[in-house]
A and B are shown apart, each in its own frame.
Chain A
Amino acid sequence: MKSLDIILKECEILAFDLTFSKAKKWKAEDKKRILVGYLPIYVPREIIHAANGLPVGIMGAGDRKQIIKGDAYYQSYICHLPRGIIEMALDKNLDDFDGFMFPAICDCVRNLSGMFKLSKKGKFQRYFDYPQNFDALIGGTFYIQEMEKILEDMHAINGVKVTAEAINKAIKLYNVNRKLIEEIYSIRQQYPWRLSAVETYHILRAGITIPVEEHNEMLKQVVDHIQKERGEPMDNIRVVVTGSFCEQPPIGLIKSIEMAGCYIVEDDFMLGSRQIQGEIKDNSKNPLEALADAYIHQSTFTSCFYDVENPRGKRLVKLAKERNADGIIFSAASFCDPALLDRPQMQQECDAVGIPHINFQYHENTGQFKVIKEQAGTFSDSIKLWA
C-alpha cells in the first residue's frame, strides 16, 4: 500500500495535468481504445467504459493556464470556464481525444459544443441533453436515446460492439467508485481533520482523468488510511459549500475557507462523480434503462435539473442537517446564471430554518483570496460566538 502522502501527491499532479498525459498514455496502449472528454457536470461514464473508452472530465483550465486566445472568443461577461477550455483546445491539449460530450448545464456549455463542431475538434461533439421530464417512460426513454447516440458515435470510431454485459461490468465498477467516495465523505463527516477538503478535491478530480479501476484502488487505500487518526481536530465550524458545480473554484479558494476556520463537510465541486446516489442496478438485461432510472430517481439536486417537485433549497437544508453543518457558503462562479439565479431562493430556505450563510463569487483563475478569507473567518467566528 502506498503512503497517503504519495497518493495525495500523485492525485494533485493528475488533477491538474491539463495535457491529460496519463489518459493519452492509456489510449496509446491499444488501438481500439478511445478517449471521450466530458464537461461538468455529469455523464453516464459507464457507457464509455463499456465501449473501450476512457471518460475524461474536462473541468476547465483553472489558474494553471494563462488565457490569451480564449479571451478573444468570449465577451467579458461570460464565465471563465469555456474560455479556458477553448484555450486548451487551441493549444492542442485535447488533441488525442476522440470525442466530446457537453452535458446540458447551461447555454455557455451548449454553445461551446457548437464551437467544437465548427472547429472540428474530435470526431464527435455531442451536446448531451439531460431530460427535464422525470417520468421513466418519457424522460427516461429520451435519456436512453441520448446514450444510444453516444454509443453510435463511439462505435463508428473503434467498432466496439457494446454488450449489456460490458455495461453491467462498468456499472459495477462505478458503483464501487461512488461508494468509496461516499465512504470518504462519511469518514470526513466524523473526522474532518483527517483529510482536508483540498486533498479530497485532488483525489476526486484525479479520478476523472484515469481508468476507474485505478481510481478505485486509490480510493480504497485512501479509505484505509483515513480510518486511522491523522492530523489534529481544531475548533472549526462545519460548512457546506454549494454552487461550484461547474466552473471550479481555484484551490486557493478552498484552502482559504479551510484556513479561515471552516471544515468543508459537503460540497458540489466534483458533482459529476457523486451525482448518482446509491447503487445502480448492475444486472439488468437492459442496462441503459438502469442508467436512465438512476438518473431519474437517484440524482442529487443541482441547478441544472428542473426541481419544482422537489425544490433544491429544501434539499440543501436537509443535506446540511445530515452533515451536521453549522452554516452554508454559497460560492458561485461569476456570471454563472444557473448557480446565481438559484441563490436567493436557496438562501430563503436557509433563513426559514435559521441556517447561517454567506456568499461570494469567484473566477476559476481568481488569485486574491484575502477578502474571501476574511469573510469566511468572520462567518466562522460569528457562528462560534453564537453557538
Chain B
Amino acid sequence: MADPKEAIKEKSMVIQKDMLAKQFHDLSKAKELGKKVVYTFVPGNLTELILSFDMLPVYPEINALQSGMRKKSAAYIREAEKMGHSEDVCTYVKCDIGMMLNGNIGPTGEQLPKPDLLLLSYTGCFTFLKWFENLERLYPGVPVAMLHTPYQEDGKITKDQVDYMVKQLNEEVIPKMEKVTGKKFDSAKLSKLMENSAKAEDLLVKILESAKRKPSPIDAYFAGVYYIGPIFTAFRGTDSAVEYYTELWSEVQERIKLGLGPVTPEGELKEEKYRLVMEGPPNWTNFREFWKIFYDMGAVIVASTYTKVGGVYDTGFRHDPKNPLESLSKYCMGVYTNLNLPQRVDLIENYVKEYKADGFLINSIKSCNSFSAGQLMIMRQIEQRTGVPVGFIESDLVDPRYFSYANIKNRLESYFQMLEQRKIILKQEGVEA
C-alpha cells in the first residue's frame, strides 16, 4: 500500500487495513492453525468454494501489486530474469517468482505459507496457465486443480459452457479440495457464503454507481483499487465483507448528502473538473504519484474496467446461492477480461454515456496482453461512438523501468487541455458537458 503515514483515511479504509493485516497474519500462522492454503487468481476466483473448505486463499497477483507498492518489485523481477525469464513477459509473474525465491515474505513482512493446492482458475488470461505451470515446478508435489473458463467469444454464456465448467468443478476442483483438506464438500455452507456474496455485491454496485452523481463521491479507479475493491476478492462471502461494504456505503451516502467529492490521500477533492472513464490496470510502483497527477488536475475517474476483473456486477450478475456451481461458473465467465472485445467496447461506451464522462483514457500496460492487445482499436471505437476525447498512456504494473513520470505527466497535461477546450466549445454551443 502507499505510505500509510501520509495518507488521510476514512473509517472504512481502517477497517480494510485491519482485515488485510489479519488475513496475512492468519496466513503466516496457517500451519499452526491447521488451515490449508490455496494459491489462486483474482479473475474467476472461487473464494466462496475455498472458504467453504475452511482454506485460506492467497492471490499471487495481489502479492505482486503489494510488492510493487512497497518498491520491492524491481529486485524481484531482476531475480526472475536472472533465472532465465525474458524481459518481455508479464512482470506479475516475474515479481511473484522473485518474491518466492526471496523467501516468500508477504506485504506485512511475515512469511507466506507454501501452497497446499494451486487452484489454476484459468480465466481471462493465458499467462495464468504459464504462471502456475512455473509455480508447480517451484513447489514440486503440490497438486494443481485446473479450472478452464471458456472465453465469451460470442459475447454470451452458453449452457454448454456452463456444463463444461460445472463438470470440471465436480470432477476436478472439488475432489482435489476434498483430498487436500480431508473434508467433504458442503453445498449448504457454500450457498450460505454465496448469500453473503450477493449482499456485498449489491452494496458494491451501489457504491460504484454513486459515481453517476455530480460531483462523484468516489474515485472509481484509484480509490476503486485502493480501498473499494481489494476487500472483495479474499473476503467475498464472509460476514466481515458485508459489514465492510455496509460501512463504506454509509460513508458514501454521507458524502453524497454533503455534496463532497472523492477522498484522496491528501484529503477531499475540492473541485471535480473532469470526469473520466478509465481502461486498463494502474501502475503500482508509482501509484501515489500517478494518482496525484489526476487529483491535482481535478480529474475523477467515474468508472473503470480494471475494477471489474474480479467480476462485473453492475450489469446484473450476482452469486446465486440456489445454484451454487452454475453460478460460480457464470461468475468466472463474466469477469471483465473474459469478455470479448465487442463486449468490452459496449461496456465502456455505456460507462461513458451513463456516467456522463468528459473523456476516455487508457493506461496501457506493457505486461498484460489480456488487457492491452486490441486497446488501440477499443480507443477508436469509443471515440467514434461517443465523441469524447480519448487519451492513451503507457506504463507497467510492477516494473518501475516502464513508468516514466515526466512522460505520463506531459501526456496527461495535454490531454486535460484538450478536455478543457472541448468544455469551452460545448459551453459556447450551449451543450451541457
Contact = CB atoms under 8 A, between A and B. Distances in A.
A135 interface: yes
B85 A344 contact: yes
Given A110-B151, A127-B153, A74 B85 contact: no
Interface string B261-272: 000000000000
Chain A contact residues: helix, strand, loop or mixed: helix
A142 interface: yes
Contacts of A348: 137
Interface in B144-182: 144, 146, 148, 150-151, 153-154, 160-161, 163-164, 167-168, 171-172
Given A340-B89, A361-B86, A115 B164 contact: no
A114 interface: yes
Interface stretch (A161-169, A272-280, A285-293, A302-310): A302-310
Q: Which of B85, B146, B153, B168 has the most CB of A within 10 A?
A: B153
A108 B373 contact: yes
Given A118-B377, A308-B146, A106 B369 contact: yes
B370 A107 contact: yes
A366 interface: no
A361 B144 CA distance: 31
Contact of A335 (B88, B154, B171): B88
A114 B167 CA distance: 28
B314 interface: no
B168 A133 contact: yes
A77 B88 contact: yes
Nearest to A134: B146
Nearest to B81: A344
A338 interface: yes
Interface stretch (B25-33, B123-131, B410-418): B123-131
Interface in A87-122: 104-108, 110-115, 117-118
Q: How large is the interface on A (under 10, 10 to 19, 20 to 34, 35 or more residues)?
A: 35 or more
Contact of B86 (A74, A107, A108, A343): A343
Given A78-B373, A114-B374, A306-B133, A341 B164 contact: no
Nearest to A130: B148
Given A338-B126, A341-B127, A132 B372 contact: no
Contact of A338 (B130, B164, B372): B130
Interface of A: 72-75, 77-78, 82, 104-108, 110-115, 117-118, 126-127, 129, 131-133, 135, 137-139, 141-142, 145, 149, 303-304, 306-308, 311, 332, 334-338, 340-345, 347-348, 361
Nearest 4 pairs between A and B by C-beta?
A: A114-B341, A344-B84, A127-B153, A341-B130
